């Protein structure tokens, strides 16, 4: 499903960042590599994790190991960077999230933050993307990212960065400022309904397999 969604929408690199776990990202990366080795097309997988910290959610990209959750933002960022990974702050101005880094904290942690999300596909308040872009415009030095925040395949690619091909975290950081952020909003409710449908279909398939 991931491969077909990426092929349909022209996405050739996708970051897999589940909440507080990393096994799925490693599995997707392995399957992608095997497909390419067979001569098949598959998207490039960036191994990551969306970590719940005591100060909100922080993403790590190009990770080699699991990052523990519920640590402080500074501890989490330092663990990500110790792996050679990039620190990516998602939906920084989603005002309905009680735990999030404030603008002053983002500035104070500038030496640890590599990318700030300028566009999120399903913010609870659309104003969040406006505030994120305004912050980035007023604080040069933070490369802008974009995230679909898709928890299922149908909304994958709702937000993305069109940029040059890159090799590794340092090359991505060097080229990202020259990229272009694209995005369109979708409803969090729509995403939830699709997840319910997929879970039902999965359970029905499992029952059919058991009965056969």
Please, which pLDDT band fits residue 103 given cuts at 50, 70 and 90? very high
pLDDT at position 47 over 80: yes
CATH numeric code, 2-187: 3.20.20.140
Mean pLDDT of 63-80: 98
Q: What are the pLDDT digits (tens) for 6-32?
A: 999 999 999 999 999 999 999 999 999
Q: What confidence score (pLDDT) does residue 87 get?
A: 98
Contact 146, 160 (CB under 8 A): yes
Q: What confidence score (pLDDT) does residue 32 get?
A: 97
Q: What is the mean pLDDT of the chain?
A: 94
- Name the percent of the chain lying above pLDDT 70: 100
Q: Residue 182 and residue 119: Cα distance in Å, rounded? A: 8
Q: What are the pLDDT digits (tens) for 186-210?
A: 887 777 777 788 888 888 888 888 8
Contact 117, 89 (CB under 8 A): yes
Contacts of 35 (CB under 8 A, 6+ apart): 3, 41, 42
Q: What confidence score (pLDDT) does residue 162 get?
A: 97
Q: What confidence score (pLDDT) does residue 20 get?
A: 97
Distance of CA 40 to the CA centre of its chain: 25
Burial bucket for residue 45 (CB in 10 Å: 0-12, 13-18, 19+): buried
**Which value, to the nearest 10 degrees, does the dihedral of the CA atoms of residues 184, 109, 52, 146 take?**
20
Q: Residue 188 and residue 192: Cα distance in Å, rounded? A: 6
Please, which pLDDT band fits residue 39 given cuts at 50, 70 and 90? very high
pLDDT at position 75 over 80: yes
Q: What confidence score (pLDDT) does residue 172 get?
A: 98
Q: In the numeric block, which tokens belong to residue 157?
A: 């690619």
Q: What are the pLDDT digits (tens) for 115-161?
A: 999 999 998 888 999 999 999 999 988 999 999 999 888 889 999 99
Tell me which residue of 105, 15, 17 sits closest to 56, measured CA to CA: 105
Q: In the numeric block, which tokens belong to residue 106?
A: 């983002």
pTM summary value: 0.90
Mean pLDDT of 73-97: 96
Tell me which residue of 122, 116, 158 sits closest to 134, measured CA to CA: 116
Q: In the numeric block, which tokens belong to residue 210?
A: 């058991």
**Unique residue bearing structure tokens 């491969």:** 3
Q: What confidence score (pLDDT) does residue 97 get?
A: 86
Contact 100, 55 (CB under 8 A): yes
């Amino acid at each position: 499903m991931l491969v077909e969604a990426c092929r349909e929408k022209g996405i050739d690199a996708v970051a897999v960042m589940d909440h507080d776990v990393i096994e799925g990202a490693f599995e997707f990366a392995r399957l992608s590599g095997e497909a390419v080795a067979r001569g098949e097309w598959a998207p490039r997988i960036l191994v990551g994790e969306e970590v719940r910290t005591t100060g909100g959610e922080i993403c790590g990209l190009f990770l080699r190991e699991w990052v523990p959750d519920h640590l402080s933002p500074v501890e989490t960022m330092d663990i990500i960077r110790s792996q050679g990974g990039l620190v990516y702050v998602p939906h920084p101005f989603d005002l309905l999230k009680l735990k999030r880094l404030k603008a002053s904290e983002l500035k104070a942690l500038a030496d640890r933050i590599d990318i700030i999300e300028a566009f999120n596909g399903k913010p609870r308040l659309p104003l969040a993307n406006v505030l994120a872009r305004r912050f980035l415009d007023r604080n040069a030095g933070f490369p802008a990212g974009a995230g679909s925040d898709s928890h299922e395949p149908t909304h994958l690619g709702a937000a993305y960065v069109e940029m040059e091909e890159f090799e590794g975290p340092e090359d991505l950081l060097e080229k990202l400022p020259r990229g272009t952020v694209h995005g369109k909003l979708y409803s969090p409710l729509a995403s939830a309904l699709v997840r319910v449908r997929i879970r039902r279909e999965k359970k029905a398939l499992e029952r059919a397999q058991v009965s056969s």
